[in-house]
Each structure stands twice: as structure tokens, then as C-alpha cells.
């Protein structure tokens, strides 16, 4: 008898707990709607008071939400201020108009490479691109030639795989004798590889490359530049340099590059990617020359 009463009490407690959780969800939804209305009113006030506004047209796509599976563009008007970037405009639109707007960003200093976008027909970093330099309306899309996950977010897994495929790390033949002694590099050699070290893995160059768009196995300019950074470093071991040259001179390596300079044009760190690829071609040729 007591067992039946206990089960009944447990069922009542479970029901009350479920009702309490549902009530909390309703209250939270109500608070969020109220906060959203407050932000919209704030945005309207800021737009009315702004000396100048800019219009952004943002690519939208969400395959997991019914009614949003078809790609479209949403238009947002944002108050403009001096120094405003594309990323600033996106953050404003997300925070004031649509919290579901999805894009990647992090450092906001053109270092992390996470906010590479296709803005007005060109690959750019959102945090580095000034709105004042762009024609209105500003059209913002995800990087071309990449699978779109949601809105402006693309799948970067293949890009990272290509970067890792060139084994981007040192393998010196000999290490310094002293435990705290560094591997020294001449000033001249440092200058030679300096630009190649500035890569931030943003993927803009890969997105702009017509060869990479048609050949999924092509290493791509970013990966080849990373190979250049190590192959041309005088501290690299001879065995590892030989191995690295073997990697980049494969069928889908440096020889697939058609010297279109598109990667160099869009690189946000001004790395001479095409030149590095051509120099590695010359190294590959010299590596295969035999005199006997």
C-alpha cells in the first residue's frame, strides 16, 4: 500500500517538475522577446539619429529549419560610423534585428582569419574591410567553392586537411647541443621566408582559386605557401626538405597552378602566394635534375 502511495507522490513531483520547467521556458521566451523588442526600438532610435546609414544584403541559408532551406538574401539597414567594418555591420544586424544570423568571428584584428567572406564580389576579411570603401548596398556572402553550413559559415574541414597534408612543422637533421640553445637563422633567410609566415589560414586564397574549385585534390595556394615557409627555411633538415618537395611536386601540387594571381590579389596579409608557388616549381625542377 505504501509503495503505491510513494509512486503516486513521485508521479506528482515529476508532473510538477515538468510544469515548472515549462513555465521557466515560457518566462525565458517572454524575456527574450521583450529584450528583442527593446533592441529593435534602440536600433530604430539609432537609425533615426544617425547622420548616415548603410545597407547590407546578407546571404541566408539554414538547412535544418523548415522554411529556411532555400538560400535567400536578407536586407538590413545599420547606422554608419567612422571606421565601421563589414564585421561591425554584421554584429549590429545580429544583435539588433536577427539573433539567428550566423557568421564566424573572433579577434577582430585581422589575425585569426575566421571571418573571411565574399563581399561585393571579392574575398575579404570582414574585420579588415571598411564599409566606407564599398558601394552601397554591401552584398555579403559565404566564401565560394565551399560547402555552406549555415548563413555565412562554410565547412573548412577540407581546407584544414590540405594544410596538414604538407606536414607544416620542422624536422631538423640536428638539434643544438645546449638544452636552451635556439636554432639560429640568418637575417637573410628570415627575410626570404618572412612573408610566408604571415598566413592566418583564412581560406580566402583557396576560395578564389579556379583550379581548387575544379580539382578537390589540389593542395591549393595556402598549403603550398606553408610548404614554402618550411622548405625555404635554412633550419629545415635535408631529408625533410626532400620529402616536402616530393609532396608539393605531385600531380595535384605546384604544377596545377596556372599563375592567375587570384590568390595573391585576395590575400589579406599581402603574401606573394603566386611567386612562392613559382619558386617551388623551380626548386622541384632543380631537385629532379641529374648530371651524369
pLDDT (tens, 9 = 90+) of the chain, 292 residues, equals 556 676 676 767 777 776 777 777 776 666 666 666 666 677 777 776 778 999 999 999 998 888 888 999 999 999 999 999 999 999 999 999 999 999 999 999 999 999 999 999 999 999 999 999 999 999 999 999 999 999 999 999 999 999 999 999 888 878 777 777 888 899 999 999 999 999 999 999 999 999 999 999 999 999 999 999 999 999 998 899 999 999 999 999 999 999 999 999 999 999 999 999 999 999 989 887 765 4
Supply the pLDDT for residue 2. 58
Q: Where in the chain is the domain with CATH 3.10.20.30?
A: 53-153
Q: Strand ranges (DSSP E) for the chain?
A: 53-60, 72-79, 116-119, 122-125, 138-141, 148-150, 153-154
Please answer whether residues 226 and 244 qualify as being in contact, where contact means their C-beta atoms are separated by less than 8 angstroms.
no
CA distance 142 to 148: 7
N- to C-terminal Cα separation, the chain: 101
d(CA 231, CA 245): 8
Give pLDDT, residue 34. 66
CA dist 194 → 74, 165, 215, 269, 281 (Å): 41, 22, 29, 12, 19
Residue 88 CA to residue 131 CA, distance in Å, equals 9
Q: Backbone phi, then psi, for 153, in 5-degree steps?
A: -95, 125
| pLDDT at residue number 3 | 66
Range(s) for CATH 1.10.1060.10 in the chain? Answer: 156-173+185-288
State the Cα–Cα distance between residues 91 and 79, nearest whole angstrom.
12
83's torsion region: left (phi>0), alpha (psi -120 to 50) or beta? Answer: left
- Rounded to whole angstroms, the Cα distance separating 89 from 86 reads 5
pLDDT score, position 15:
72
Helix, strand, coil percentages (3-state) for the chain, rounded to 5, are 45, 10, 40
Alpha-carbon distance 59 to 277, whole Å?
33
Domain 53-153: CATH superfamily, name plus number: Beta-grasp domain (3.10.20.30)
pTM: 0.81
Residues with Cβ within 8 Å of residue 36, at least 6 apart in sequence: 99
CB count within 10 Å of CB 150 equals: 18
Q: Would you state the cell numbers that stand for residue 143, as one nine-digit string?
A: 566564401
The greatest distance separating any two alpha carbons of the chain, rounded to the nearest whole angstrom, comes to: 101
Amino acid 232: pLDDT: 94
CATH class of 156-173+185-288: mainly alpha
CA distances 24 to 20, 66, 84, 86, 267, Å, are 6, 26, 39, 37, 49
Structure confidence at residue 215 (pLDDT)? 93
Helices 221-231 & 238-248, crossing angle to 10 degrees?
160
pLDDT at residue 122, rounded to an integer: 97
Please give the Cα distance from 217 to 211 (Å, whole number): 10
Residue whose C-alpha cell is 534602440: 42
- pLDDT, residue 70, reads 92
Amino acid at each position: 500500500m505504501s509503495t503505491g502511495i510513494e509512486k503516486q507522490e513521485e508521479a506528482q513531483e515529476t508532473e510538477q517538475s515538468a510544469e515548472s520547467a515549462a513555465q521557466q521556458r515560457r518566462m525565458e521566451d517572454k524575456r527574450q522577446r521583450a529584450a528583442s523588442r527593446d533592441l529593435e526600438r534602440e536600433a530604430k532610435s539609432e537609425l533615426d539619429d544617425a547622420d548616415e546609414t548603410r545597407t547590407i544584403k546578407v546571404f541566408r541559408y539554414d538547412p535544418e529549419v523548415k522554411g529556411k532551406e532555400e538560400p535567400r538574401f536578407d536586407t538590413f539597414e545599420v547606422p554608419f560610423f567612422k571606421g565601421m567594418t563589414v564585421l561591425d555591420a554584421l554584429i549590429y544586424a545580429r544583435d539588433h534585428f536577427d539573433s539567428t544570423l550566423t557568421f564566424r568571428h573572433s579577434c577582430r584584428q585581422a589575425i585569426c582569419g575566421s571571418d573571411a567572406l565574399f563581399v561585393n564580389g571579392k574575398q575579404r576579411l570582414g574585420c579588415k574591410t571598411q564599409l566606407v570603401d564599398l558601394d552601397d548596398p554591401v552584398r555579403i556572402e559565404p566564401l565560394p567553392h565551399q560547402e555552406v553550413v549555415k548563413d555565412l559559415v562554410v565547412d573548412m574541414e577540407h581546407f584544414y586537411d590540405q594544410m596538414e597534408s604538407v606536414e607544416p612543422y620542422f624536422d631538423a637533421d640536428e638539434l643544438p647541443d645546449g638544452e636552451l640553445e635556439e636554432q639560429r637563422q640568418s637575417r637573410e633567410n628570415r627575410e626570404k621566408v618572412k612573408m610566408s609566415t604571415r598566413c592566418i589560414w583564412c581560406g580566402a586564397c583557396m576560395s578564389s582559386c579556379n583550379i581548387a574549385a575544379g580539382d578537390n585534390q589540389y593542395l591549393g595556394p595556402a598549403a603550398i605557401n606553408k610548404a614554402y615557409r618550411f622548405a625555404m627555411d635554412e633550419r629545415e633538415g635535408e631529408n625533410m626538405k626532400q620529402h616536402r618537395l616530393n609532396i608539393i611536386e605531385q600531380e595535384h601540387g605546384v604544377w596545377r597552378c596556372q599563375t592567375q594571381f587570384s590568390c595573391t590579389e585576395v590575400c589579406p596579409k599581402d603574401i606573394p602566394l603566386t611567386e612562392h608557388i613559382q619558386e617551388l616549381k623551380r626548386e622541384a625542377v632543380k631537385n629532379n635534375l641529374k648530371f651524369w
